[in-house]
A and B are shown apart, each in its own frame.
Chain A
């Protein structure tokens, strides 16, 4: 066991559920921070995709959330902890095409049932936990060279 890895960067951001006008603001912020830190472009883009999908899910299905961005040597970690309805069946929610999005959400182009799949596909490590009536906790890790 080595020394704990020093944090190169860490910051937390709040997300407000239901507000589609500001949706994407947190992922855009995360992207510009990672760029400024000199993280390679392909990794920044992966982080942007996973944080955007998680952010939209909070806006669509939860009351509020906090996003923790942590950059350590070798990895970018993005954790999204929301308070909301939670996910009754995670295996089902992870299936491509499964969506409970309502008409209003679908009209804006969301609700393809692909967001969680994108998160899984674009992160190197992905954990999801959820409790119905309480909320959902996502943890995504993207490796850096």
Chain B
């Protein structure tokens, strides 16, 4: 399943990085502590977080995440969007809280194949 299919299934708002929407999603990780995400997520993952600061782009880029989804309708910082656009990393926003969003994405990723 690619990022775009998750966007469509969950009605996410795509804030930037549309070029990366075709990227295959291999899993997901939910967390707001950057070193936790650094240590425990993997390439191709979708990262679910409430952090909006531009540091999330460096983490997603270094870890080669498929995209970042902000929970609870959090608004990304302007610098975050600029950097993510340059790195072609989709940043998306959901109205859902982390628990529900993670559960839905987990179901999407495990119900296919």
Contact = CB atoms under 8 A, between A and B. Distances in A.
- SS of B interface (majority): helix
A51 to B, nearest CB: 9
A61 interface: no
B49 to A, nearest CB: 8
B36 interface: yes
Contacts, number: 74
Interface residues of A, number: 27
Given A28-B61, A110-B34, A23 B39 contact: no
B78 interface: no
Interface of B: 32-36, 38-39, 43, 49, 51, 53-59, 61-64, 79
Interface of A: 20-21, 23-25, 27-28, 31, 41, 45, 48-49, 52-53, 56, 108-115, 117-118, 121-122
13 contacts: A21-B79, A24-B58, A45-B43, A52-B59, A52-B62, A108-B34, A108-B51, A108-B53, A109-B33, A109-B49, A109-B51, A112-B33, A122-B39
